[in-house]
C-alpha cells in the first residue's frame, strides 16, 4: 500500500512531458531503433533527391556496355540493356514507396476505424463482418491483388487502393482486438453512462488509446506491403517500364545472375535495407510506446 | 424469428469460411500428391536403362538428357498437329515424308525416297520406302500416308489444315505410292510436305497416339510425363539405322534459369535456351562446348490491320520507320542474330529479299503520323507477357525508339499462361514469336487471307494472288519475283515488325557426338550420339 501511495504521489515531482517527447526519449535509448530510423530516413532522402545526383540516366541504353561488372564508371555494373544498375537502384524504390505509403495510410484509416467501431458495437453486425473478414483472410493476399489488378489495370491509384484494401483487412482484426481491451474500461463506461454518442466515444476515448497499436501495426504492415508490391512488380504487374523498379529489376536481371550478380544485388540490397530498417524501427517504436510486441501485446 | 434467421446466416457463413479455408489448404496438396509417382518413375528408370545397356553385349550408348520449357501450361499431348503439341517427343516418335537437309531448308528424302510432279505441278507422286515399320511392327504403307493427310486436314484445330488446303485428294495406286492431287499448281509442294508437324501416323492410330506416341520414329515412348520427365528408348529397328543413344530423357523445366544451372551442373547434356549473357558462365567449363547457330526464329510486334488504329496504313508505316533493327539486335541479343526486314523466313532461303528497303527515320515517321491524323502524338498499349525470352528487352527498346517520334508506348503485361488466349489476335498491338519457316510456309501460314494464325489479320487479295502465282510458276526466277513482291508488301505496309532473326546459343557436353549445326527443331535425332561413359 505504501508503495502504491508513493507511485501515486510521484507525478507531481517530475516535470510533465509531452507523450511524443517521452516516446522519442525511449526510442533514442534503443540502438536498433535508431539504426532503423536512420535507414528509413536515408531511403526517403535517396528516393526524394536521387534524380538530381545519380551519376547516369537510369533509362539510357547502350549496347556497347551490356552486362558489365562494377567499375568506377558504373558502381554496380550495367544490366542487359547497358543501363547503369547503381542509378536504377537508387531511383528504383520511388514508385514503390509512394504507392505503399499511400496504401498503408488507407489501410490504417479504414481498417482501424472499422475495427474500433466493431469492437465498440460488438453485436450481430460485428459477428457478421468479422466472419466475412475471416473469409477474406483465408484467401491468399497475392491472389486478391492479382485479381483486382488484372481487372482494373496497373495504374498507380488502382494499386494504392488495392493494397490499402487488402492490408486493411488485417488491420480490422488488430484494431478490434485492441478496442476490446478498452470497451470495458472505466472511462468508456463513464462516457456511456454520461450518455455520450458512439461517435464521440470512438473519437474521444477509443482512437487516442488504440492509436499507438495502429501506428506500430501500420509500420509493420508497411514492410510487408513493400515486399508485396515488389512481388507484384517481380511478376510484371506492378511498376511498368520504363520506370526503374526494384521488383522488376530483380525479375529481369535474374537470368544474368551468374554473370553480373550486382544487377540483382543492387535492388535486393536497397529493398532489404529498407525493410530491415522498418522492422527495427517498428520494434523499438512499439517498446517506446509501451507495447512490447514480443510480450503478446495486441499488435 | 429474425434472430433465428441471423443465426442460420452466421452458421452458413461459418461453414462457407471453413470450406474456403479447407479449399485453400487442399489446393497445394494436389500437385504435391501427384509429384511422387513422377519421381518414382524417374527413380525407376535407371534399372530399365541399365537393362537396355547391359542386355545387348555391344551396348555402349548412353542416356541423352535435355530440357524443354512448359510452353502450353501442361496441356501438351502427342498429336503432331494439335495446337498444344508436345514437340520434343513428337520429333523423336514420328517421321515425315521429307526432311530438310542439314545446312539449308531443302527437302531431302525421309519416309518418301523420291517424288516427282506432272508438268504443271498439280499432281505429285511420292514413292515410299519399303523398309519402314511402326513401333508395333507393322509395315508403313501408302494407306497410312493417306490416313495421315486426312488427319492433317481434318483433325480438330489442326494447325496445318491451312497449308495442306491445296490437297484436293490422295490416291494410293499401290502400297508404296502416294499421289497428291492438288487444287492448283504448287511447284514447291515438297516444301509443304516437309512441314515439321506433318508427321506420318499409322492408319487408325488416332486418338490413341495422343498418349501412346506410336509412330515410326527413331525412338519409342516409354513414359509420357508432361511436366516431369518423359522417357524414350531407342528403336533399334529404325529404317535409318539404330539411334546413337540408348535412351532419351526429356526434362520439362519451367524456369529457364534452373535449366541453365542444370546444364552447367551436368545434370542435362545440352540446352538450347541460352542467351548471349550466359556464355561467360561456361568460360571455364572444358567439358562443354558453346555453339552459336544462326536460325530463322524471330520475335516481333504485331499490329492488327483490320481494326483501328492500325487499319490506317500511314500509322503502320510510321511504326515501321521508328525501328532501328541493328540497335534492337545489339541490345536484346548482344548482336547474336541477323537483321530481318519484317520477314521470318530462314536466312539463306533462295526467295528471301536481300536487304531492307528503308532505315530508321524519325522525320519520315513524324510525317506519316501527321498524315494519319496524329500530328500531336500517338499513344498505344503494347501487350506482352513472360513468354519469349527477348520480349521484355524488345518492348523496352521499342518504347524508347518510338518515343523519339512522338509515339508513346504503354507496356501492358498479361499473365504468360493467358497471353495467347486473351491478348494475341485480340488486342490491336501485341508481341509474338515464331520458329523459322520456309518462304512459302511463312507467307501462307501467317499472312494468307483467312488463315487461322493470320495474326495481323492481313487480308489482301493482291497478296494472295502473288502467292498463288508463285506457287504455280515453273520458272525459278519468275517465282522468286512473285515471292519477293509479296515480301516487299509486308515489309512496306504489313502489320508485323520483325527486327531480327535470333541466333541460337547452345551449350552441350563435349563428349556428345557432334550435334548438327542447325536448330534442333529440324535435327535428325537418330544421328546424335552419346557414349555410355559420357556423364
pLDDT given for residue B519 in this prediction: 61
- Residue B205 included in any domain: no
pLDDT given for residue B84 in this prediction: 85
Q: Is the dihedral of CA B488, B489, B493, B498 positive or negative?
A: negative
Segment B470-481 mean pLDDT = 91
- Higher-confidence residue of B440 and B518: namely B440
pLDDT band, residue B196 (cuts 50/70/90) = confident
Task: State the pTM of this model.
Answer: 0.81
CA distance A137 to chain B (A): 9
The answer, yes or no, to whether residue A177 has pLDDT greater than 60, is: yes
Q: Which of residues 55-74 of A touch B (CB under 8 A)?
A: 59, 61, 63, 66-67
* Cβ-contact B205, B140 below 8 angstroms: no
pLDDT band, residue B10 (cuts 50/70/90) = low
Tell me which residue in B256, B327, B392 faces A252 most closely, judged by beta carbons. B392
- Residue B467 included in any domain: yes
Helix (H, G, I), strand (E, B) or coil at B389: coil
What digits encode the pLDDT tens for the residues A191-244?
888 888 888 888 888 888 888 899 999 999 999 999 999 999 998 888 888 899
- Higher-confidence residue of A183 and A49: namely A49
Segment B85-91 mean pLDDT = 89
Domain that holds residue B486: 298-502
- Higher-confidence residue of B40 and B20: namely B20
- Residue B444 included in any domain: yes
pLDDT band, residue A77 (cuts 50/70/90) = very high
Tell me which residue in B10, B277, B393 faces A127 most closely, judged by beta carbons. B10
pLDDT given for residue B263 in this prediction: 87
ipTM above 0.85, yes or no: no
- Identify all chain B residues contacting A252, using CB atoms and an 8 Å cutoff: 392
Which of these ranges, B38-47, B80-89, B135-144, has the smallest mean pLDDT?
B38-47
Tell me the C-alpha distance between A41 and A33, whole Å.
12
pLDDT given for residue A2 in this prediction: 43
* Cβ-contact A176, A111 below 8 angstroms: no
Helices (H), A17-155: 19-28, 31-53, 85-91, 94-121, 124-137, 141-152
Rg (CA), chain A: 23
Is some CB atom of chain B closer than 8 A to the CB atom of A138? yes
The answer, yes or no, to whether residue B128 has pLDDT greater than 90, is: yes
Tell me the C-alpha distance between B333 and B397, whole Å.
12
**B461-472 and B476-493 helices cross at what angle (nearest 10)?**
160
Domain chopping of chain A, boundaries: 29-49+76-298
Cell numbers describing residue B486:
509479296
Residue of B nearest to A252 (CA): B392
Closest to B484 measured CA to CA, from B356, B348, B351: B351
The answer, yes or no, to whether residue B46 has pLDDT greater than 80, is: no
Tell me the C-alpha distance between B328 and B334, whole Å.
9
* Cross-strand partners of B221: B232
pLDDT given for residue B28 in this prediction: 33
Which of these ranges, B222-226, B322-326, B410-414, B519-523, has the smallest mean pLDDT?
B519-523
- Residue B51 included in any domain: no
Segment B265-283 mean pLDDT = 85
Tell me the C-alpha distance between B369 and B378, whole Å.
8
Task: Give the mean pLDDT of chain B.
Answer: 85
pLDDT band, residue B415 (cuts 50/70/90) = confident
Cell numbers describing residue B345:
523466313
pLDDT given for residue B307 in this prediction: 95
Residue of A nearest to B9 (CA): A128
> Which residue matches cell numbers 486426312?
B150
Which of these ranges, A13-27, B151-165, B496-510, has the smallest mean pLDDT?
A13-27
- Residue B55 included in any domain: no
Tell me which residue in A66, A132, A140 faces B334 most closely, judged by beta carbons. A66
Class of domain A29-49+76-298: mainly alpha
pLDDT given for residue B403 in this prediction: 94
**CATH code of residue B493:** 3.10.105.10
Burial class (CB within 10 angstroms; exposed 0-12, middle 13-18, buried 19+) of B468: middle
Q: CB-based contacts of B449: which residues, under 8 Å, 6+ apart?
A: B458, B459, B460, B461, B463, B464
Tell me the C-alpha distance between B168 and B116, whole Å.
17
Is some CB atom of chain A closer than 8 A to the CB atom of B5? no
Instruction: Say if strands B98-100 and B107-109 run parallel, antiparallel, or are unpaired.
Output: antiparallel
- Residue B73 included in any domain: no
> Which residue matches cell numbers 454520461?
A194
B20–A257 CB contact, under 8 Å: no
- Rounded percentage of chain A residues whose pLDDT exceeds 70: 92
Task: With residue A9 as reference, give the H or E element that holds it.
Answer: helix A2-9
Number of domains in chain B: 1
pLDDT band, residue B4 (cuts 50/70/90) = low
The answer, yes or no, to whether residue B50 has pLDDT greater than 70, is: no
Helix (H, G, I), strand (E, B) or coil at B112: strand
The answer, yes or no, to whether residue B112 has pLDDT greater than 90, is: yes
Closest to A72 measured CA to CA, from A86, A61, A58: A86
What digits encode the pLDDT tens for the residues B356-371?
999 999 999 999 999 9
pLDDT given for residue B431 in this prediction: 97
Is some CB atom of chain B closer than 8 A to the CB atom of A17? no
CA A212 to chain centre: 14
The answer, yes or no, to whether residue A297 has pLDDT greater than 50, is: no
B10–A237 CB contact, under 8 Å: no
- Residue B393 included in any domain: yes
pLDDT band, residue B394 (cuts 50/70/90) = very high
pLDDT band, residue A80 (cuts 50/70/90) = very high
What digits encode the pLDDT tens for the residues A120-175?
888 888 899 999 999 988 988 888 888 888 888 888 899 999 999 999 999 999 99
Measured in degrees and rounded to the nearest 5, phi and psi for residue B512 equal: -75, 150
Is some CB atom of chain A closer than 8 A to the CB atom of B395? yes
In this structure, the number of other CB atoms found within 10 A of the CB of residue A181 comes to: 14
> Which residue matches cell numbers 567439358?
B287
- Residue B352 included in any domain: yes
Tell me which residue in B9, B275, B411 faces A255 most closely, judged by beta carbons. B275
pLDDT band, residue A73 (cuts 50/70/90) = very high
Segment A29-54 mean pLDDT = 94
Segment B462-481 mean pLDDT = 93
The answer, yes or no, to whether residue B18 has pLDDT greater than 70, is: no
User: If you write DSSP's letter for every residue of B129-169 in order, what string do you get?
Assistant: PSS-B-TTSPBP-HHHHHHHHHHHHHSTT-TTTTGGGGEEE
Is some CB atom of chain B closer than 8 A to the CB atom of A254? yes
Which of these ranges, A33-37, B192-196, B308-312, has the smallest mean pLDDT?
B192-196
Tell me which residue in A61, A124, A258 faces B397 most closely, judged by beta carbons. A61
CA distance B411 to chain A (A): 7
Residue of A nearest to B5 (CA): A124
A61–B277 CB contact, under 8 Å: no
User: If you write DSSP's letter for every residue of B441-499 in order, what string do you get?
Assistant: HHHHHHHSTT-TT-TT----HHHHHHHHHHHH--SHHHHHHHHHHHHHHHHHH-SEEEE
* Cross-strand partners of B109: B98
In this structure, the number of other CB atoms found within 10 A of the CB of residue A21 comes to: 9
**How many beta-carbon pairs below 8 A join chains A and B?**
88
pLDDT given for residue A16 in this prediction: 63
Cell numbers describing residue A174:
488488430
In this structure, the number of other CB atoms found within 10 A of the CB of residue B12 comes to: 11
Task: With residue A157 as reference, give the H or E element that holds it.
Answer: helix A156-183
A241–B389 CB contact, under 8 Å: no
**A124-137 and A94-121 helices cross at what angle (nearest 10)?**
150
Q: Which of residues 257-276 of B touch A (CB under 8 A)?
A: 257, 260-261, 264, 275
- Identify all chain A residues contacting B395, using CB atoms and an 8 Å cutoff: 241
Cell numbers describing residue B35:
509429384
Tell me which residue in B17, B327, B331 faces A135 most closely, judged by beta carbons. B17
Range from A149-158, B154-163, B498-507 that averages highest in pLDDT = B498-507
Amino acid at each position: 500500500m505504501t508503495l502504491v501511495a508513493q507511485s501515486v504521489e510521484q507525478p507531481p515531482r517530475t516535470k510533465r512531458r509531452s507523450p511524443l517527447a517521452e516516446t522519442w526519449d525511449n526510442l533514442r535509448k534503443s540502438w536498433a531503433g535508431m539504426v532503423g530510423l536512420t535507414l528509413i530516413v536515408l531511403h526517403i532522402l535517396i528516393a526524394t533527391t536521387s534524380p538530381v545526383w545519380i551519376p547516369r540516366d537510369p533509362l539510357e541504353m547502350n549496347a556497347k556496355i551490356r552486362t558489365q561488372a562494377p567499375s568506377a564508371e558504373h558502381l554496380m555494373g550495367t544490366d542487359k540493356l547497358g543501363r547503369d544498375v547503381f542509378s536504377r537502384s537508387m531511383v528504383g524504390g520511388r514508385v514503390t514507396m509512394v504507392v505503399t505509403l499511400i496504401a498503408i495510410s488507407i489501410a490504417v484509416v479504414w481498417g482501424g476505424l472499422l475495427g474500433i467501431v466493431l469492437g465498440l458495437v460488438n453485436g450481430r453486425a460485428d459477428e457478421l463482418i468479422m466472419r466475412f473478414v475471416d473469409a477474406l483472410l483465408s484467401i491468399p493476399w497475392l491472389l486478391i491483388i492479382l485479381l483486382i489488378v488484372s481487372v482494373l489495370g496497373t495504374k498507380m491509384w488502382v494499386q494504392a487502393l488495392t493494397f490499402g484494401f487488402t492490408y486493411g483487412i488485417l488491420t480490422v482484426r488488430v484494431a478490434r482486438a485492441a478496442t476490446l481491451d478498452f470497451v470495458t474500461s472505466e472511462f468508456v463506461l463513464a462516457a456511456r453512462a454520461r450518455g455520450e454518442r458512439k461517435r464521440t466515444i470512438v473519437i474521444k476515448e477509443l482512437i487516442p488509446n488504440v492509436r499507438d497499436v495502429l501506428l506500430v501495426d501500420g509500420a509493420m504492415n508497411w514492410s510487408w506491403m513493400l515486399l508485396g508490391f515488389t512481388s507484384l512488380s517481380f511478376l510484371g504487374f506492378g511498376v511498368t517500364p520504363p520506370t526503374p523498379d526494384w521488383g522488376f529489376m530483380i525479375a529481369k536481371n535474374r537470368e544474368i545472375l551468374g554473370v553480373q550478380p550486382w544487377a540483382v544485388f543492387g535492388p535486393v540490397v536497397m529493398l532489404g535495407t529498407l525493410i530491415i530498417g522498418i522492422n527495427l524501427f517498428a520494434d523499438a517504436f512499439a517498446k517506446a510506446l509501451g507495447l512490447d510486441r514480443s510480450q503478446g501485446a495486441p499488435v | 424469428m429474425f434472430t433465428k434467421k441471423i443465426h442460420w446466416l452466421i452458421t452458413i457463413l461459418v461453414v462457407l469460411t471453413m470450406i474456403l479455408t479447407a479449399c485453400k489448404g487442399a489446393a497445394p496438396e494436389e500437385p504435391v500428391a501427384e509429384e511422387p509417382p513422377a519421381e518414382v518413375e524417374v527413380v525407376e528408370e535407371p534399372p530399365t536403362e541399365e537393362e537396355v545397356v547391359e542386355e545387348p553385349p555391344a551396348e555402349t550408348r548412353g542416356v541423352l538428357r535435355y530440357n524443354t520449357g512448359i510452353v502450353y501450361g501442361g496441356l501438351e499431348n502427342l498429336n503432331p498437329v494439335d495446337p498444344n503439341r508436345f514437340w520434343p517427343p513428337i520429333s523423336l516418335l514420328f517421321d515425315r515424308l521429307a526432311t530438310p537437309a542439314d545446312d539449308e531448308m531443302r527437302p531431302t528424302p525421309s519416309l518418301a525416297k523420291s517424288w516427282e510432279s506432272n508438268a504443271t505441278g498439280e499432281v505429285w507422286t511420292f514413292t515410299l520406302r519399303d523398309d519402314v515399320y511402326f513401333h508395333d511392327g507393322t509395315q508403313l504403307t501408302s494407306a497410312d500416308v493417306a490416313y495421315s493427310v486426312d488427319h492433317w486436314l481434318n483433325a480438330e484445330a489442326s494447325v496445318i489444315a491451312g497449308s495442306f488446303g491445296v490437297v484436293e485428294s490422295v490416291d494410293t495406286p499401290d502400297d508404296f505410292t502416294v499421289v497428291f492431287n492438288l487444287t492448283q499448281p504448287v511447284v514447291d509442294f515438297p516444301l509443304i510436305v516437309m512441314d515439321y508437324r506433318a508427321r506420318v501416323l499409322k492408319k487408325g492410330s488416332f486418338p490413341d497416339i495422343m498418349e501412346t506416341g506410336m509412330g515410326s520414329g527413331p525412338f519409342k515412348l516409354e513414359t509420357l510425363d508432361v511436366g516431369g520427365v518423359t522417357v524414350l528408348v531407342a528403336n533399334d529397328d529404325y529404317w535409318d539405322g539404330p539411334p546413337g543413344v540408348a535412351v532419351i530423357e526429356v526434362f520439362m523445366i519451367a524456369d529457364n534459369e534452373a535449366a541453365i544451372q542444370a546444364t552447367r551442373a551436368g545434370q542435362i547434356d545440352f540446352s538450347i535456351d541460352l542467351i548471349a549473357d550466359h556464355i561467360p558462365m561456361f568460360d571455364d567449363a572444358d567439358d562443354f562446348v558453346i555453339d552459336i547457330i544462326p536460325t530463322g526464329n524471330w520475335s516481333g510486334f504485331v499490329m492488327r490491320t483490320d481494326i483501328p488504329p492500325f487499319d490506317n496504313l500511314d500509322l503502320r508505316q510510321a511504326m515501321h520507320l521508328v525501328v532501328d533493327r541493328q540497335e534492337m539486335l545489339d541490345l536484346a541479343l548482344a548482336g547474336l542474330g541477323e537483321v530481318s526486314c519484317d520477314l521470318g523466313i530462314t536466312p539463306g532461303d533462295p526467295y528471301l529479299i536481300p536487304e531492307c528497303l528503308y532505315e530508321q527515320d524519325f522525320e519520315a515517321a513524324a510525317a506519316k503520323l501527321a498524315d494519319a491524323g496524329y500530328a500531336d502524338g500517338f499513344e498505344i498499349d503494347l501487350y506482352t507477357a513472360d513468354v519469349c525470352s527477348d520480349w521484355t528487352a524488345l518492348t523496352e527498346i521499342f518504347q524508347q525508339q518510338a518515343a523519339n517520334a512522338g509515339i508513346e508506348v504503354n507496356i501492358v503485361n498479361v499473365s504468360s499462361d493467358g497471353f495467347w488466349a486473351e491478348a494475341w489476335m485480340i488486342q490491336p498491338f501485341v508481341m509474338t514469336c515464331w520458329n523459322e519457316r520456309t518462304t512459302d510456309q511463312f507467307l501462307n501460314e501467317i499472312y494468307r487471307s483467312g488463315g487461322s494464325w493470320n495474326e495481323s489479320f492481313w487480308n489482301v487479295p493482291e497478296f494472295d494472288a502473288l502467292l498463288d502465282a508463285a506457287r504455280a510458276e515453273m520458272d525459278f526466277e519468275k517465282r522468286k519475283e512473285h515471292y519477293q513482291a509479296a515480301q516487299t508488301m509486308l515489309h512496306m505496309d504489313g502489320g508485323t515488325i520483325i527486327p531480327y532473326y535470333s541466333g541460337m546459343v547452345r551449350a552441350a557436353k563435349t563428349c556428345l557426338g557432334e550435334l548438327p549445326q542447325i536448330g534442333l527443331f529440324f535435327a535428325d535425332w537418330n544421328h546424335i550420339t552419346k557414349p555410355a561413359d559420357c556423364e
